[in-house]
Structure 1
Amino acid sequence: MADTEQPEDPTRSHPQPEFPQQDQEHPGWTGPMDPPPDHGEDSYKGSGLLVDRRTVITGGDSGIGRAVALAFAREGADVLLTHLPEEKSEAQETCRLVEQAGRRAIPVECDIRDEKQCRALIERAVSEFGRIDVLVNNAAYQMSQPDGIAAISTSQFDRVVRTNLYGMFWLCKTALPHIPAGGSIINTTSVQAYKPSPHLLDYAMTKGAIVTFTQGLAQMLASDGIRVNAVAPGPVWTPLIPATMPDTKEFGKQSPLGRPAQPAEMAPAYVFLASANASFITGEIMNATGGTPLP
């Protein structure tokens, strides 16, 4: 019998550039993407690492957020996820995958740039679950500006900072009274925090701030038994790419593995950090960059 568990060559285990050029309006949708993103629908197998955990995932409708929601559910967790109004159909698909795994899925329309909506989101989670075991701050906004800082408008800068930083701050502050010892917060930073691309200057700046926030909050909460970590993805094939990048043909080719990650390849990092297997890990940034060396 052939060995079906042989390791795959990571340079060829998922689609490689060159991809078809594709453009979408923000925030982007999964359906039109070519090749379609892999969220682990046919590959992720749970092993009971997060049984009965109550989890909140921002930006859980698509991309990394969908992959994390699916993985959490298959590990035994219930999931409350956020989406923007125009992402309702995307969120419904994520909920279908969570419910297919036998867990609760609660979609909540929420713009995390608004403090009141952030507070309402946490109140909804506590009302539904009674507590929050894992908070995943994943929602983010970027918009490529090849012409550099001169092309970054104040409105764009404000949207990037409020989405990527204000929302995370408000959600952590509001959620903390409801996160018990043993719970955790997982933030999504980026390779951009360490190796900023000039056309993503404002986005990269916020991702650097997330690293600092993660490390500082981890020290603050260690004595309470709450762990705080972050995942730093490299290029990942999500709807945000055709919606915010001018050239998708060679996206991800710059990584040493020669391709972008699929969302499914990010999910195990979040599962690990949320699980008891990571009980002595806090204040860490887990790099998942396809080989790009980081500090």
Structure 2
Amino acid sequence: MSRPLPAALDLSGRPVLVTGAASGIGRATAACLAELGADLTLADLADLAPVREALAATGARVRVEQGDLRDAAFCARLVEAAPWFAFANVAGVFQGLPGQSPEEAFDFVMHVNVRAPVQLAAGIVAGMAARGEGYVALVGSAAGRNGGASQEASLAYAAYAASKGGVHTLARWLSRRAVGRGVMVNAVAPGVVRTPLFEAVSRSIRFDPAALPAGRAAEPEELGWPIALLCTRAASYTSGAVLDVNGGSFVG
């Protein structure tokens, strides 16, 4: 016999926006939120049809918005699609695009990982504050905590580590300005997670997940649930936190 969700976790009928939802942690987060009953809007540059179909088959209410987070108009459209009960910004990139100069690659990473979340979160938080409640979960990285574990990465990795440190600071900055108006803003800092991004990175950085304290990398769902939790009333007194979900690879 199925049991009802605890009220603090029940997102039935609650509109929730998830970016980076086409794959990896974003897709897993969307699936977790769907299990909690959320009415989902999924955003990504990549094709969202597979995840929409998979979630719709479970009975979830899902709509999709395909676009580039570097496009200010696209970000504005997501903000204006409110009211949002919760917002999970999972979208992110590790490095620049092929053919970009080091300067262009740096700007690309910072735009997607920092500038876009600033625009989205600031606008969404303002709307939530006007209604007196809301939950925001931003995805940073353990690299933003410790500068990154790899000793063999190129200098381009600095952009990623710096950008994720910026995400953590953004969560704290927004928290100070939003918590008194009923909006909880937090970040999650993953370690190594088995995602398409990890597979791409592992080809350029020599890394053995078996060397991690937990002896393995995380599965996307192991990040999806902590992120989903921060999008519920279970986080009603949690704000400005950076939740480390890294299997003990960073303890601080």
Q: What interval of TM-score do these two structures reach, taking the shorter chain for normalisation?
A: 0.7 to 0.9
Could you give the per-residue CA deviations for residues 187-206 of structure 1, whole angstroms, max 9, x where no partner exists? 00010012223522110001
Task: Say whether the 8 Å CA contact 2:189–2:245 is kept in structure 1.
Answer: yes
Q: Determine the structure 1 residue equivalent to 2:123.
A: 174
Give the conservation status (yes or no) of the 8 Å contact 1:256–1:291: yes
CA distance in 1, matches of 2:158, 2:23: 24
Task: Measure, in 2, the Cα distance between the counterparts of 1:139 and 1:163.
Answer: 8
Instruction: Using structure 1 for the length normalisation, give the TM-score.
Output: 0.75
Following the alignment from structure 1 to structure 2, what is the Cα–Cα distance between the partners of residues 191 and 269? 15
Which of residues 182, 192, 195 in structure 1 aligns to 2:146? 195
Structure 2 unaligned regions, length at least 5? none
Give yes or no for contact 1:141–1:163 (8 Å, CA) kept in 2.
yes
User: Is 2:23 the partner of 1:74?
Assistant: no
Matched with 1:186 is: 137
Aligned partners of 2:122 and 2:174 also within 8 Å: no
CA distance change for structure 1 residues 189 and 152 in 2, over 3 Å: closer, same or farther? farther
Letter in 2 for 1:190: S
- 1:154 match: 103
**Runs (5+) with no aligned partner, structure 1:** 1-44, 145-150
Higher relative contact order structure (alpha carbons within 8 Å, sequence separation ≥ 6): 1
RMSD: 2.1
Worse overlay, 58-67 or 101-110 = 101-110
The residue identity in structure 1 corresponding to 2:229 is F
**Could you state the TM-score of these two structures normalised by the residue count of structure 2?**
0.87
Q: For 1:109-258, what aligned pairs fall within 5 Å after superposition?
A: 109-123=66-80, 125-126=81-82, 131-143=83-95, 153-179=102-128, 180-197=131-148, 199=153, 200-247=157-204, 250-258=207-215
1:251 CA drift (Å): 4.5
* Larger Rg, first or second structure (1 or 2): 1
Q: Deviations over 1:128-155 (max 9, x none)?
A: xxx10111111001129xxxxxx97111
Cα displacement (A) at 1:247: 4.9
Aligned partner of 1:103 in structure 2 is 60
Contact 1:143/1:245 (<8 A) preserved? no
Structure 1 contact 256–292 (Cα < 8 Å) conserved:
yes
User: Residue by residue, what CA displacement relative to the aligned partner does 1:226-249 show, whole Å, maximum 9, x if unpaired?
Assistant: 000011100001111223442588
Q: Secondary structure at the match of 2:210?
A: coil
AA of the residue aligned to 1:81 = L
Percent identity between the two aligned chains: 28
Q: Secondary structure at the match of 1:194?
A: helix
2:211 counterpart SS class: coil
Contact 1:136 1:186 in 2 (8 A): yes
Distance in 2 between residues matched to 1:270 and 1:171, nearest whole Å:
17
Q: Is structure 2 residue 247 aligned with structure 1 residue 265? A: no
Letter in 2 for 1:262: E
* Aligned residue pair count: 236
